[in-house]
Amino acid sequence: MAQELVQRTFLGAFEHPGAYDPSRGDPWAWLLGLALNHLKALRRERARSGRMGTEPASVTEAHPMEAMEAEEGRRKVREALTSLPVEMQRLLEECDMRARPVSAVARELGMPASTAFDRLAEARRAFRNALGGADA
């Protein structure tokens, strides 16, 4: 399933290069949004075809050690996110995790889109630092 997800994500990016808007920021965030959308679609397809029942319900059932590491990673991400100011959390959640347009989120927050783009970049830097630096 992971290979299918990566293939669909990069094929989609290759087939629609104009879909990425550089003014929206980091291309990796855009690719992550594509991957999340393809993951949802794959899960729906597999649920409809009945193939989900033959696989372990989660990584935790198949590999307990990986499950512990994944939980530790989720805990670190949660801590890093909640350590940020609420406005930064909201921008990251809406724009990067839910792949919503920055301009729409800016309207909801009552700020100009240009301000939201700047603050989103700040939020991404702060989040990276909270996770442990630029390599995180």
From 9, 31, 55, give the residue that closes a domain: 55
CATH number at residue 81: 1.10.10.10
Q: How far apart are the C-alpha atoms of 122 and 100, rounded to whole Å? A: 18
Highest mean pLDDT out of 25-29, 30-34, 76-80, 106-110: 106-110
pLDDT on residue 117: 92
- 71 shares a domain with 36: no
pLDDT at 32 over 60: yes
- 92 shares a domain with 35: no
pLDDT on residue 54: 47
- 124 shares a domain with 83: yes
pLDDT on residue 135: 47
Q: How far apart are the C-alpha atoms of 4 and 122, rounded to whole Å? A: 33
Q: Which of 3, 5, 6 is nearest to 39 (CA)?
A: 5
Q: How far apart are the C-alpha atoms of 5 and 42, rounded to whole Å? A: 8
Q: Is residue 34 part of a domain?
A: yes
- 106 shares a domain with 74: yes
State the residue range of the domain holding 28. 1-55
- 42 shares a domain with 4: yes
Q: Is residue 136 part of a domain?
A: no
pTM equals: 0.51
Contact 96, 29 (CB under 8 A): yes
- 43 shares a domain with 88: no
**Model pLDDT for residues 82-125, shown as the tens digit of each residue:** 999 999 999 988 888 888 899 999 999 999 999 999 999 999 99
**Model pLDDT for residues 49-60, shown as the tens digit of each residue:** 765 544 544 544
- 76 shares a domain with 125: yes
From 55, 77, 100, give the residue that closes a domain: 55
What's the domain count of the chain?
A: 2
- 77 shares a domain with 47: no
